[in-house]
Structure 1
Amino acid sequence: MKKTTLLLLFVALSLSFSALGGKSYYDVLQVSKGASEEQIKRAYRKLALKYHPDKNPGNEEANKRFAEINNAYEALSDREKRSIYDRYGEEGLKQHSAGGGRGGGMNIQDIFNSFFGGGMPEEEEEKVVKGDDVIVDLDASLEDLYMGGSFKVWREKNVIKPAPGKRQCNCRNEVYHRQIAPGMFQQMTEQVCEQCPNVKFEREGYFITVDIEKGMRDGQEILFYEDGEPVIDGEPGDLKFRIRTATHERFRREGNDLHTTVTITLLQALVGFEKSMPHLDGHLVEIGSKGITEPKAVRKFKGEGMPIHASEKKGDLYVTYEVIFPSSLSEEQKGKIKAVLKS
C-alpha cells in the first residue's frame, strides 16, 4: 500500500513539472474522453484498416499513425490502464508498468489480429455507411481560451426508434448465370434483401457539456464521436464543435500572442508613470515605465500571452502606448514648457 502511494505521488509530481506534448490517446483514436468501450473499439477498427501498412506500402507517416493508433487502443481498451491515463497521463502508464503493473501488453500485430484474425480484409472499411457529420462554429471568449472552461449546449438530432411493420434491409447484389441456349449462359445481377423490423426517425433534444481547453485556437475541433446525424443500417456521423475566437473589448489575439492598446497622458509619456492592467484571469500586469514613452511605442511582456495548447508555456503580450496630447495650451503654459525644454 505504501509503495503504491509513493508511486502515485511520484507520478503526480513528475507530471506537474513536465509539459504535455502531442496528441492525447483520445485524439489519436478520434473519440471524446467519455467514449464508451464499444465506441473505442469501432474507432480503432476504422483507423487500423485505414492506416494498415498493407494498404500504405512505403508510407512512413501511415506506419507511424498505425503504431500510434495501436498504442492508444492498448491503453484505452484496458479499464485499469485507462483510469491511470485519465488521471496521470502517458507518464503515469510508464510508471505503472515500471512498478509491476500490467505493462507490455500485446504488440501491434497481436492487437490487430484480435480484431481481424491475422488477415487484412479487403475494402471492409468502405462497406460501412455513415451518417452526416455535424459541424458547429463555437464562439469562445478569450477568457475561456485563456483559463479553460466548460458549458452546456442544447443539441437536437434525429434518433432511430422502432416502428410497426417490416422493411427491406442488408440489400446486396448477387450474381447468377442463366442459360439462354444449349451451352450458352448469360451473367445476371439481382438485388437480394432481408426483412428487418421497421424503424423511424424522431427528433430528440438534450444538453451536451463542451469542454474548452486552455490555448485552443481557431479551427480546432472538439469531437463527439458518433453524435452526428444517424443513418439506418449504418454508423452515425460525428458532432464537431469548431473553435472561433470571439471579439474581445481589450485584447486581440494573434496566434499565441495577445495585443492591447493603453492610453497615457503627455505628462506620463515624458516623466514616466506607474500603471497596472488586469489580465484575462484577473492577475495584474505592471505596464508602467520610468523613462520617456514615445507615441505608438510597443513593449513586449514575455510569457503574458495566451497559453500554448497542450503545453505549460505561454505566448507574449504586446502593449501599444497611445499618448494623449492637450487640445490647447495657454500662453503661460507654453512659456513654461519652452523654458523647461530649453534648459
Structure 2
Amino acid sequence: MANRRGKLFFLLCALSYALAVVAGKSYYDILQVPKSASEEQIKRAYRKLALKYHPDKNPGNEEANKRFTEISNAYEVLSDSEKRGIYDRYGEEGIKQHMANGGRGGGGMGMNIQDIFSQFFGGGPMEEEERVVKGDDVVVELDATLEDLYMGGSLKVWREKNVIKPAPGKRRCNCRNEVYHKQIGPGMFQQMTEQVCEQCQNVKYVREGYFLTVDIEKGMQDGQEVVFYEDGEPIIDGEPGDLKFRIRTAPHDIFRREGNDLHTTVTITLVQALVGFEKTIKHLDEHLVDIGTKGITKPKEVRRFKGEGMPLHFSTKKGDLYVTFEVLFPTSLTEDQKTKIKAVLG
C-alpha cells in the first residue's frame, strides 16, 4: 500500500512539473543556463544576475526585486546536488514535498535571500565587482523590425570572437589568489589578497565564429539590451565580458513608433473628406483597423485609436494608434464642376 502511495506521489509530482514547465520559466531558464550546466556555470550565472538585479542597485524597481528573488530561489535549489536531482525529476512540487518532509531549507523555502547573497559573495555587491577581473563587454546595435517588436520574434546573428585555447609550454599567471585577514589593531582586521599561483598551462587566442539566436520580446523599447553573459571578450586569468545586443526599432514603410504609440498617415480624396468614407488599414499582425467615418475630415486631422499601438513590455496593455489624414485636392476643375460646387456649398 505504501509503495502504491509513493508511486502516486511521484506521478503527481511529475505531472505538476510538466504543468509548471508549460506555465512558466524553469530554474535553468531563470539563471540562463542549460540543464547540463556544471556547478561552476551555475555559480557564475547566479553571481552575474544577482549583481545586476540586486535591490541596492535597483531602488524602487519592483520588477528587478522580483527577478532577484527568482534568481536566488533558483540558485538555492540548483546549487544543492540533492535538491537539483529532485527538481530535475519532479519539479518545484517535488522540492516543496522534500522540504515538508524535513529536507534542508534555503532560498525562498526558509533561508533569507540576502543571506544567500552575502554568503556567496562574502561582502557587498560592489566589493565583488571590484575583485573580479573581466574582459571587455561587447555592445552591438541590433535593428529589430516593428513586426517582431509587436508580436515577438527572434533574429539569427553571426558572432566572431577570440577564444582562449591551450598552447605549448608554461606561463606566469595570476589565476589563483588567496584571501586572508591581517590584524592591524585591537579588534581591527584588514582583508588581504595574496597571489599563490606561479605557473599555468600556456594559452593562445583563436578566432571562432558561430550563430546566436537573439530573442526579441514584445514591446521592447529602443535601448533595451539582450545580454549573453560571458560571451564578450575573453581575458587571460579572468572572466569574459558580456555580449549585449542593444535593440533599435528599424524604419517601417507604414508605421512610425513613438514610445508605446504608433503613428501613420492616410491619404483620402476631397470627396471622402467632405462626405465620409469606409476604410481599413492592415496592422502589424495583419488584423484590420477600421478608420472610416461618416463625418467631415479636415486636412492634417489626427484621430486616435485606443489600444491599437505597441504592446507594453511585460504587460497586457497597449499604446494607441494615431492616424493623420492628408486630403488630396484636385489639381484643376472644369467650369461645370465649379458651378455645381458653388450651388452646393455657396
| Shared fold, TM over 0.5 | yes
1:189-338 equivalences under 5 Å are 194-338=198-342
Equivalenced residues, count: 303
Find the residue that maps to 2:160 and give its secondary structure. strand
Structure 1 CA distance for aligned equivalents of residues 196 and 99 of structure 2: 48
TM-score where L is the length of structure 1: 0.73
Q: Does 1:111 align with 2:116?
A: yes
- The sequence identity of aligned pairs, in percent, is 67
Deviations 1:194-237 (A, max 9, x none): 01110000000001011101111100000000000000010000
Deviations 1:239-284 (A, max 9, x none): 0000011111111000000000000000001111100111111111
Q: Does 1:74 align with 2:73?
A: yes
How far residue 98 of structure 1 moved from its aligned partner, in angstroms, is 11
Q: Does 1:42 align with 2:47?
A: no
* Counterpart AA for 2:73: E
Structure 1 CA distance for aligned equivalents of residues 89 and 160 of structure 2: 31
Who is 1:61 aligned against? 59
Structure 2 CA distance for aligned equivalents of residues 165 and 9 of structure 1: 50
Deviations 1:159-181 (A, max 9, x none): 0001011100128999xxxxxxx
1:162-181 equivalences under 5 Å are 162-170=166-174
* Counterpart AA for 2:71: A
How far residue 126 of structure 1 moved from its aligned partner, in angstroms, is 2.3
Find the residue that maps to 2:72 and give its secondary structure. helix
How far residue 152 of structure 1 moved from its aligned partner, in angstroms, is 1.1
Q: Does 1:154 align with 2:153?
A: no
Which is bigger in relative contact order (C-alpha 8 A, separation at least 6)? Answer: 1
Q: Indicate how the Cα distance of structure 1 residues 8 and 312 shifts in structure 2: closer, same or farther if over 3 A, else same.
A: farther
TM-score where L is the length of structure 2: 0.73
Find the residue that maps to 1:296 and give its secondary structure. coil
- Partners of 1:7 and 1:99 within 8 A in 2: no
- Partners of 2:32 and 2:45 within 8 A in 1: no
Structure 1 CA distance for aligned equivalents of residues 165 and 219 of structure 2: 40
Structure 1 CA distance for aligned equivalents of residues 172 and 226 of structure 2: 36
Give the unaligned 5+ runs of structure 1. Answer: 86-92, 175-189
Structure 2 CA distance for aligned equivalents of residues 123 and 12 of structure 1: 36
* Counterpart AA for 2:46: Y
Deviations 1:26-78 (A, max 9, x none): 99x8x64659454442243356679989xx7xx99399978863542222543
* Counterpart AA for 2:120: F
How far residue 145 of structure 1 moved from its aligned partner, in angstroms, is 0.7
Q: Indicate how the Cα distance of structure 1 residues 102 and 151 shifts in structure 2: closer, same or farther if over 3 A, else same.
A: farther
Higher deviation after alignment, 121-130 or 304-313: 121-130
Deviations 1:85-142 (A, max 9, x none): 9xxxxxxx7xx599857585241255346636xx548945423210000000001111
Give the unaligned 5+ runs of structure 2. Answer: 1-7, 79-83, 101-107, 179-193
How far residue 147 of structure 1 moved from its aligned partner, in angstroms, is 1.0
* Counterpart AA for 1:290: K
Over the aligned positions, Cα root-mean-square deviation in angstroms equals 4.2
Who is 1:340 aligned against? 344
Higher deviation after alignment, 76-85 or 154-163: 76-85
Find the residue that maps to 2:59 and give its secondary structure. helix
